[in-house]
Amino acid sequence: MSVQRIVRIALLSAILYVCKVSLEWLPNVELVTLLVILYALTIGLDALYVTLIFNIIELIQWGFGTWWIAYLYIWPLFVIISLLLKKVIKEEFIIWAVLSGCFGLVFGALCSSVYLFIDPKYAWTYFIAGLPWDAWHAISNFIIMLLAGKPLYLLLKKTTSR
């Protein structure tokens, strides 16, 4: 792995983490979904490294919890989904906004799946109780991608080109 590639991954990981922390005061309003999509579109599979580093930093900050197990598969899964859809959706940011919103809506279900192995009733309750938050997550993800997706994509495309 080249030094340039390592630095790019480290820098984008730091940006992802700082953006997440900067909006923690707003419930379920985040830039992580936006950036994970844009990273997948601009740096491809290296976005998986970014999500891994992000997850490790989150573990260091918050400690271990079931939420962290969910993060270990949610963010890489979203990178893979974005990469698979990249050739179909291309630079249609209204569609990326819809996808981003849908991801916000199912985020709680993906998090609650960790609890299926412990107690399926608890997993269901966790999911149902979180639906209002997931709806807000979906709306905010949609709006953020709609407003910031294309300009940030063009900037990242220019600055991350090899």
Torsion over CA of 140, 14, 75 and 39, rounded to 10 degrees? 80
Per-residue pLDDT of the chain (162 residues; tens, 9 = 90+): 899 999 999 999 999 999 999 999 999 999 999 999 999 999 999 999 999 999 999 999 988 888 889 999 999 999 999 999 999 999 999 999 999 999 999 999 999 999 998 999 999 999 999 999 999 999 999 999 999 999 999 999 999 875
Q: Which domain holds residue 63?
A: 3-160
| Residue found under tokens 């990469």 | 83
- The encoded tokens of residue 89 equal 């959706």
Q: Which residues of 143-161 are buried (b: 16+ CB within 10 A; e: fewer)?
A: ebbbebbbebbeebeeebe
- The encoded tokens of residue 100 equal 């981003």
Domains contained in the chain, number:
1
What amino acid is encoded at 15 in this protein? I
pTM: 0.93
Which CATH number covers residue 82? 1.10.1760
